[in-house]
């Protein structure tokens, strides 16, 4: 399994992030969700990414039922050598409209308990 764990890592933190040596990937296609975890040499979690899409059931122009995405979110976090985590959150809440709006929040340093929020 190849996971690009550092693709979105801000340049200023490349030397501070702990590189994972193994990964777990969990996918729930029915829920439109996935989670990837990376672990260091000691088996401690050092990388986290989740992504999901919330949907609504609607009807198209011919009154056929369709599932429409209305909210999408991705959270990525890297454990730094300091013990803190660098968290990056990207989300979109207008998937059913034009233009879609994607928001990338500024990276923030957080404790491990805060990465999944």
pLDDT in tens, 7-59: 999 999 999 999 999 999 999 998 899 999 999 999 999 999 999 999 989 88
Concatenated DSSP letters of 40-96: -TTS-EEEEEEEEEEEEEEE-TTS-EEEEEEEEEEEEEEEBTTS-EEEEEEEES-TT
Which pTM does this prediction carry? Answer: 0.88
Q: What percent of the chain has pLDDT over 90?
A: 73
């Amino acid at each position: 399994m190849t996971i690009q764990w550092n693709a979105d890592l801000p340049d200023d933190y490349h030397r501070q992030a702990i590189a994972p040596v193994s990964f777990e990937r969990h996918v729930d296609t029915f829920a439109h969700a996935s989670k990837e975890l990376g672990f260091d040499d000691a088996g401690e979690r050092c990388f986290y990414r989740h992504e999901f899409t919330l949907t609504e059931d609607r009807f198209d122009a011919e009154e056929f039922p369709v599932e429409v995405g209305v909210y999408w979110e991705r959270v990525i976090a890297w454990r730094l050598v300091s013990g803190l985590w660098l968290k990056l959150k990207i989300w979109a809440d207008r998937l059913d409209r034009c233009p879609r709006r994607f928001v990338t929040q500024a990276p923030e340093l957080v404790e491990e308990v805060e990465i999944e929020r």
